[in-house]
């Protein structure tokens, strides 16, 4: 018996990077998985091919985090297709760099809408369907706790906001037997933060383990949080960053 047999998961931003790693891992643990993406249809099809080859049931849903109705719709589509939702992973996110003098109001709105409002909307829609034993897991960032460079104010703010949201939702849903946790990665090798980028050596030099992590490592922690074993853990923020913030 696999750990997540008979469970249904929805992962936002599952076409690439950390989200794709989470989709594959949850499917390998036996869950039926719906995932969203905004633009990368080809990448989404490749993730579906991998999960199907492994004998799992999966669907891909176009849902842009900028929209207010896309994620509630994705939750409804998940429930319609698979009959329930037990696990929500809020992973989709954006990153942009600027200084306080130069940020535009549009950048502020985009960052908050994609990285925070969408988490609120998806969690709200999912919570309305979830039963005892369900899980909400959100991907934040170690930049919520420490900003070690310039140009990251809005991203750090958006990820810090998730700490409060995570704790509050954990209080609301704890009495119903639903746990709510935040995973805060450090440098993970994805399109958003390639290990080969010019800035990467600077990041590695600040880490206790001086190398980038992988989507599969984050997915392993998410799979634990999604499983029954983590049932006494809620409202926490778990940092996995190779010791960047210590
Ligand atoms: P990538 O840019 O590699 O992948 C992002 C994923 O999210 C893609 O599947 C993309 O789909 C989707 N996505 C992006 N924007 C939207 C949107 N507006 N609506 C719906 N889906 C969207 O990012 P990572 O995998 O690196 O990041 C995943 C999460 O991890 C993010 O929340 C990020 O902030 C966080 N994180 C990443 C770190 C890193 O070092 N990589 C470190 C700390 C945190 P599509 O291509 O279709 O748009």
- Nearest atom in ligand 1 to the alpha carbon of residue 185 is 43
Q: Whose CA is nearest to atom 10 of ligand 1?
A: 13
On whether residue 246 sits in a domain, the answer given is no
Give yes or no: 212 in active site: no
Report residues whose beta carbon is within 6 angstroms of any ligand 1 atom.
13-19, 36-40, 64-66, 91-95, 114, 139, 141, 185, 187-188, 190-193
* Predicted pLDDT at 201: 98
Domain holding 135, by residue range, is 8-233
Q: Whose CA is nearest to atom 44 of ligand 1?
A: 141
Burial of 129 from C-beta contacts in 10 A (0-12 / 13-18 / 19+): middle
User: With contact defined as beta carbons under 8 Å apart, do 200 and 192 qualify?
Assistant: no
On whether residue 93 sits in a domain, the answer given is yes
Task: Give the HSE-up count for residue 157: Cα atoms under 13 Å, Cβ half-sphere.
Answer: 16
How many angstroms separate the alpha carbon of residue 190 from the centre of ligand 1?
A: 9
On whether residue 53 sits in a domain, the answer given is yes
Q: Whose CA is nearest to atom 36 of ligand 1?
A: 141
Closest CA to 21 of 102, 72, 89: 89
Alpha-helical segments (H) within 29-140: 41-53, 70-82, 105-112, 118-127
- Nearest atom in ligand 1 to the alpha carbon of residue 142 is 43
User: CA 25, 180, 139 angle in degrees (round to 5)?
Assistant: 55
* Predicted pLDDT at 104: 97
Q: Tens of pLDDT along 180-216?
A: 999 999 999 999 999 999 999 999 999 999 999 999 9
On whether residue 172 sits in a domain, the answer given is yes
Q: Tens of pLDDT along 8-39?
A: 999 999 999 999 999 999 999 999 999 999 99
Q: State how far the Cα of 84 lies from the Cα of 34, in Å rounded to an integer.
A: 11
On whether residue 139 sits in a domain, the answer given is yes
- Nearest atom in ligand 1 to the alpha carbon of residue 212 is 40
Query: 136: which DSSP letter?
Result: E
- Terminal-to-terminal C-alpha distance of the chain: 38
Kindly list the strands in the beta sheet with 87-90, ordered across the sheet, starting from the edge strand earlier in the chain: 58-62, 32-37, 8-11, 87-90, 135-139, 179-185, 237-240
- Nearest atom in ligand 1 to the alpha carbon of residue 213 is 40
**Identified catalytic residue from 37, 155, 212, 244:** 155
Pocket test for ligand 1, best of 10, 11, 14, 19 (most atoms within 8 A of CB): 19
Residue ranges for the chain with pLDDT beneath 50: none
How many angstroms separate the alpha carbon of residue 213 from the centre of ligand 1?
A: 15
Looking at the structure of the chain, the number of domains it has is 1
On whether residue 38 sits in a domain, the answer given is yes
Closest CA to 2 of 25, 28, 23: 28
Pocket test for ligand 1, best of 192, 195, 242 (most atoms within 8 A of CB): 192
On whether residue 173 sits in a domain, the answer given is yes
Q: State how far the Cα of 130 lies from the Cα of 159, in Å rounded to an integer.
A: 25
* Predicted pLDDT at 1: 77
Pocket test for ligand 1, best of 33, 34, 35, 38 (most atoms within 8 A of CB): 38
On whether residue 226 sits in a domain, the answer given is yes
Q: State how far the Cα of 230 lies from the Cα of 133, in Å rounded to an integer.
A: 10
pTM: 0.99
Cα→Cα distances 159→112, 143, 185, 221, Å = 9, 7, 11, 18
Q: What is the CATH number of the domain that holds 133?
A: 3.40.50.720
């Amino acid at each position: 018996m696999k750990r997540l047999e008979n469970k249904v998961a929805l992962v936002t931003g599952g076409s690439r990077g950390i989200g794709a790693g989470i989709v594959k891992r949850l499917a390998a643990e036996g869950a039926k998985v719906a995932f969203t993406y905004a633009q990368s249809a080809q990448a989404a099809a490749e993730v579906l091919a991998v999960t199907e080859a492994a004998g799992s049931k999966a669907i891909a849903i176009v849902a842009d985090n900028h929209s207010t109705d896309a994620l509630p719709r994705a939750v409804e589509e998940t429930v319609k297709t698979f009959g329930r939702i037990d696990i929500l992973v809020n992973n989709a996110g954006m990153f942009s760099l600027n200084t306080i003098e130069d940020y535009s109001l549009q950048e502020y709105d985009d960052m908050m809408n994609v990285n925070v409002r969408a988490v609120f909307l998806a969690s709200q829609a999912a919570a309305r369907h979830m039963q005892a034993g369900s899980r909400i897991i959100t991907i934040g960032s170690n930049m919520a706790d420490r900003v070690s460079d310039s140009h990251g104010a809005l991203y750090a703010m958006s990820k810090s906001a998730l700490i409060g949201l995570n704790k509050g939702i954990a209080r609301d849903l704890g009495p119903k037997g639903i746990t709510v946790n935040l995973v805060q990665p450090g440098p993970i090798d994805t399109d958003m933060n390639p290990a080969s980028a010019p800035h990467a050596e600077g990041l590695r030099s600040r880490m206790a383990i001086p190398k980038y992590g992988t989507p599969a490592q984050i997915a392993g922690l998410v799979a634990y949080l999604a499983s029954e074993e983590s049932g006494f853990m809620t409202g926490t923020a778990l940092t996995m960053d190779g010791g960047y913030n210590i």
